[in-house]
Amino acid sequence: MLLDKVKHILCISLILLVGVTTLYACKSDDKELQGEPVLQVQKSIGFKKEGGEVAVPVKSNREWNASVTEGKEWLTARKASDTELTVSATSSPEKGVREGNITIANNALTAKLRVVQTGGDLIIEVAEESRVIQVAGTGNDHLEVNLLSNTDYEVVIPEEAKDWITEKEVPDTRADLASSTRIFSIASNPLTTERNATIKFVSKENTNIYDQSEIKQQKKSSDISGVNPEKDIKLKVTGGYDTDHQPGQDISKSYDGQFGGTCYHSTWSQSAKFPVTLEYQFDQNQLTLDYILYHSRNGNGNFGAFELYIKPQGSTDFIHIQDYDFKGAGGSHRILLNDPVVPAAVQFKVKSGLNDFVSCDEMEFFHAAENPLDEQLITVFTDRSCSELLPDASDEAINRLPAFFNVLAKSLQSNTYPEAEKRFRIQSYQAYSVPEYWGDKLRTNYYSPLCNPTGIITNAGEEMVVLADGIPQGESISLRCCSDLGPDGEERFLKNGINKFSFSRAGNLFVIYQKLDPRGMPAVKIHFPPQYVEITEHARVGFNVWDLTVDKTDDLFREYIRKAKSVTLDGSDKCVFVLKGRKILFTALKDLLQNQDNFKQYGVVRGMERWDNLIDWEQELAAIDTYSNTGEFNSLMHVTTFTDGLYATNYYINMAAGDVSTKDGWGFKNNFDPRDMDKNQDNEWGPGHELGHMHQGAINWPSTTESSNNLFSNYVVYKINQWGSRGSSIGTLATYRYAPPTPWSRFMHPRDPNTLAFTPQDMTSDDANKYGLYQGEASEMHMRLNQQLWTYFERIGKKPNTIRKIFEQGRTPEFWLPFNDPGAAQLMYARNVAKAANMDMTEFFDVWGFFIPVSFKLYAYGSFSYTVTQDMINQTLAYMKTFPTKCPPIEYIEDRRYQAGAGGNQKGISEDGGDVGYFETFQNNVKITKTVSYTVSGRTYTVTNGEQAVAFELIKDGKKVWFANRFVFTVPAGADIEGAELYAVQADGQRIKANK
């Protein structure tokens, strides 16, 4: 190697460009024009023993100076002009090498010039950047090796490498201290393995003086530049018309090729005039139409239901093709035609659109091209995914393949395909439900479309080859590139065989394979083969997906999170990691999963199992499992971990990943693993609450949005069996209901202290979270209504599956709650419960304030006119009377016993519980055998021997004016109890007068 006494490595690089930012590193002229500082100078110069003078070019757009910072005793530096520095060295008395340094600086930048002078010793040194050189499999016709020498030397290429390494230019190698660049040509690598060779530079005077450069060439090229599948042909639209458009946004804006520009849109000022006809014309077209791409504008007007018609060339009549329903979903939609036709015109009759408008960003029409290479590939591979060789695939057939596929086949043949990457590069993907269809059918928010993560990542603009097999005839399957934690992203549709495309944004790739009923749909095999463009790898394995059913262990999660790769997004690195379970899918930044202490300690297995269970439990409660257990509905629930907020929306819920101290401990880090989740009830409640929002639709209307979902929260807490339920007390209900009489929708709303009128009479968004309200409702109180129904019918088993029936009926036209008419929805829900229980529920819903007329504007995630008239009430009461069995007084049932000071939602005890009314009294149908008595002091009542009752009521003139479930209770001044008498209520509903 080098002479031992020479300790330093000389890093030879002819030009050093120093700039303020990397962005402008290759644009010095631009920088000068912009006034940004520039300073360019060589990295090093050399002198032989005798010394001398060297002129060094300097490029700077600012005044500069130079000074010797090391070697002042033998070096001088003088500014000869604005563009030149003169460096002088004296003769060296030493045998070895001596070094010096010169600093060149302008008022913004600094550069270093290294000076080397030899003595009597011989030197050959290869520059640091040339010691190991990586070469692409395609080869390099101009490979530079930089070195420094003061001796004549020989270039030695190994015999076994001379057929692929040749020197192109032979510079002078006289014995002078000189930096030189040797130019080599590297042939393409025909092998399926990497090959290496070491070029030596050996002194002719002393063969012990040498240095070397190692050439490492990648295996035979996997460059995809030569893979060019036949492109589908876009049919040219020559004209069109529509029946409704906003001025300046007619149908022509949907075929102008301007994505994201001005789109087609129906009239802004009113709902669209349905059905809206959009007709596209194709004069002189001779190609068949195989599919249509509808690109929505992701906003008002996304297509809902529509009919598709085509007029064939030569015909005057339109043929009805099929009816479709995109349900207002955004993104791109592909319409495949089973029977291609040569169109003269295509007509859409749009019957509904998002928010009652119709819009279209772009509509494209395609003729599908055949790819002749597909047939050749299946002579070597078992299918068009090219992921497995035929057992009898011959070398001759493999060698006939184009270069990219030849390399791929030989890597499979020789078992040199990257084994660790196969888990992600070659996968079979199952079909999942269509979230929009099932969300509407089940009255839920939409589940996730991202059910098939690939573990493949891409940077913006990187072309990739994707090989697919098994896509059923007429089915649309696509790849979605998601740049962030959420579900939004670009899509590229796939076909069987070779696909080649790129995405405009970096991100993770997901396969979108959806069917209304996915049962029986075949798995689709998709292959992302190893691939490069020149020496840059495309379609990289990100190691950023961990699947509970596939990967199983925490150890494998830790391996993946350690290896997980980033993409470059908006100038910075970003790695989104995906955790997939049976029912749940999480997306989180790698840093969150890697750095939080709970993940370091616990891993992810138990957390994913818990969240799968949460989905199971909530689907069970809402009778969704009727479909999910059979696989008919199998979409995953998506949980994002954006920094702030706990919320639910279509396609995902968010569990805050940031500082959650202001959220009662809620947040992803406290709500993932059961060992964190079960530390307090809040941590269990949060996931149940947000998932409840996803599932509450069949029992929800304005005034219940933040309470009906808490049926699910309480159910989750019950299933985990660590904590008790939550919600306000029966005594609080009495206050809302009777002090003074108050309708359900006005619980907790403020009243004028003199007139007792509600204030404000009509709410605004500013009032929604005042006075203890949350989004316009007394959610802590409201949630107890459904909790009582569940406790009686399900927990103590009086009528099992009643809650499931309520959900099932709530999805039918008969009991569909009209969300924009909350007063009607309130009474419809009462009917639904009565039908499901087959009971007259009048008493129950009367206590809950359902049968009090009200008319006001409610603000609860929007503004609603809330009207309940006496006529509406009378009709509902008449409906109740059609059920012969009267419901017991379950408006008093409790799952919490009263205990003073029992905070924190402890199991079975609470300050909000009751002395009577515990569910066991109803369960055992306890009779009152004791003589109940009471005393009154002012407005405070004390009850004795009331243990067998479920509640105590104050009755005046035959009407209930107060109730309580405590032995000691005080009636507020707002309730008129003058002359009222106290009755003990028995579990079967019998009222027994108490002795005073």
- pLDDT, the chain, mean: 90
Task: Tell me the three-class secondary structure of 187-253, residue by residue.
Answer: CCCCCCCCEEEEEEEEECCCCCCEEEEEEEECCCCCECCCCCCCCCEECCCCEEEECCCCCCCCHHH
- The pLDDT of residue 5 is 32
Structure-token match 């839920």, residue found? 444
The two domains 124-217 and 696-892 share their CATH topology (first three levels equal): no
Q: Is pLDDT larger for residue 345 or for residue 6?
A: 345
Give the Cβ contact number of residue 5 at 10 Å: 9
Confidence of residue 120 (pLDDT cuts 50, 70, 90): confident
Residue 110 has pLDDT above 70, yes or no: yes
Where do the domains of the chain lie?
Answer: 16-117, 124-217, 233-367, 377-413, 419-670, 696-892, 915-993
pLDDT in tens, 951-996: 999 999 999 999 999 999 999 988 899 999 999 999 999 999 999 9
- Regarding the domain delimited by 124-217, which CATH topology (the fold level of the hierarchy) does it fall under? Immunoglobulin-like (2.60.40)
Q: What would be the CATH architecture of the domain defined by 16-117?
A: Sandwich (2.60)
Residue from 457, 720, 480, 680 nearest 567 by CA: 457
pLDDT in tens, 615-644: 999 999 999 999 999 999 999 999 999 988
Q: Is pLDDT larger for residue 664 or for residue 575?
A: 575
CA pair distance 574, 562, nearest whole angstrom = 14
> What CATH code would you report for 696-892?
1.10.390
Residue 456 has pLDDT above 80, yes or no: yes
Residue 571 has pLDDT above 90, yes or no: no
92-98 contacts at long range (C-beta below 8 A, 24 or more positions apart): 92/47, 92/49, 92/51, 92/117, 92/118, 92/119, 93/119, 94/119, 95/119, 95/120, 95/121, 96/5, 96/6, 96/120, 96/121, 97/6, 97/8, 97/121, 97/123, 98/71, 98/74
- The pLDDT of residue 524 is 99
Tokens of 339: 């029977």
Maximum distance among all alpha carbons in the chain?
A: 125
- Percent over 90 (pLDDT), the chain: 73
Residue 177 has pLDDT above 70, yes or no: no
- The pLDDT of residue 44 is 76
Residue 250 has pLDDT above 90, yes or no: yes
Q: Is pLDDT larger for residue 132 or for residue 172?
A: 132
Residue 174 has pLDDT above 50, yes or no: no
pLDDT in tens, 280-301: 999 988 999 999 999 998 678 9
HSE-up (13 A, CA, CB side) for residue 552: 1
Q: What would be the CATH architecture of the domain defined by 233-367?
A: Sandwich (2.60)
Q: Which of 34-38, 609-613, 814-818, 871-875 has the lowest mean pLDDT?
A: 34-38
Residue 222 has pLDDT above 80, yes or no: no
Give the Cβ contact number of residue 134 at 10 Å: 12
Does domain 419-670 fall into CATH 3.30.360.10? no
CA pair distance 793, 46, nearest whole angstrom = 93
> Rounded mean pLDDT of 206-228?
87
User: Hey, which residues does 353 pair with through a beta bridge?
Assistant: 303
> Rounded mean pLDDT of 468-487?
95
Confidence of residue 10 (pLDDT cuts 50, 70, 90): very low
Q: Is pLDDT larger for residue 236 or for residue 591?
A: 236
Q: Are 275 and 350 in contact (CB under 8 A)?
A: yes
CA pair distance 835, 843, nearest whole angstrom = 15
CA pair distance 780, 758, nearest whole angstrom = 20
Residue 596 has pLDDT above 80, yes or no: no
- The pLDDT of residue 125 is 85
Confidence of residue 658 (pLDDT cuts 50, 70, 90): low
Q: Are 46 and 181 in contact (CB under 8 A)?
A: no
- The pLDDT of residue 371 is 87
Q: Is pLDDT larger for residue 87 or for residue 33?
A: 87
Helix (H, G, I), strand (E, B) or coil at 871: helix
Confidence of residue 171 (pLDDT cuts 50, 70, 90): low
pLDDT in tens, 392-414: 999 999 989 998 999 999 999 99
Residue 19 has pLDDT above 50, yes or no: no
Q: Which of 48-57, 266-275, 796-805 has the lowest mean pLDDT?
A: 48-57
- The pLDDT of residue 170 is 64
CA pair distance 346, 309, nearest whole angstrom = 6
Residue 20 has pLDDT above 50, yes or no: no
Q: Which amino acid makes up residue 191?
A: L
The phi, psi pair for 555, rounded to 5°, reads -60, -40
Helix axis angle, 710-720 to 779-790, nearest 10°: 60
- The pLDDT of residue 301 is 94
Tokens of 581: 């379970």
**DSSP character string of 881-945:** TTSSSBPP-GGG-BS-EE-TT--S--TTEETTSBSS-BHHHHHTT----S--EEEEETTEEEEES
The separation between CA 693 and the C-alpha centre of its own chain, rounded to angstroms, equals 18
Residue 6 has pLDDT above 50, yes or no: no
Residue 221 has pLDDT above 60, yes or no: yes
- The pLDDT of residue 17 is 30
pLDDT in tens, 48-94: 788 889 899 999 999 999 999 999 999 999 999 999 999 999 998 88
Residue 357 has pLDDT above 80, yes or no: yes
pTM of the model: 0.79
